[in-house]
Amino acid sequence: MNWNKLEDASQLDIINEESKSVKVMILKHSTRCSISSMALNRIESNWKDSNSQLIKPYYLDLIAHRDISNLIAQQYGVEHQSPQVLIISNGKCIYHESHNNIRYADIIA
């Protein structure tokens, strides 16, 4: 799986533009949390290369970039969680889930 790293707040504008042609997934991951590691592993172990045509995956290390995580919460109107997956389509969050409720089948649906 090839993650696109989300490391700059200006990338949110790019994500909104990209989401007009393909869904975008943002994974907010805490490198200090075992639940977050399990969610990351579940996504990566189930991901198929063909999914990249349906969803563009972004990875946010929220320990290093908590400011971006806060902007995501504000911009998309979702409460901050960790781990958390958001699916963006046409500049809007159409799906978000956190912790053990993160399910691969729901992400690619």
Q: Which domains does the chain have, with CATH numbers?
A: 4-107 (3.40.30.10)
19-57: pLDDT as tens digits: 999 999 999 999 999 999 999 999 999 999 999 999 999
30: its two tokens: 């805490």
Separation between Cα atoms, residue 27 and residue 22, nearest integer Å: 16
- The pTM for the full model equals 0.94
What is the predicted pLDDT for the residue at 44?
Answer: 95
Q: Which residues contact 89 (CB under 8 A, 6 or more apart)?
A: 19, 23, 24
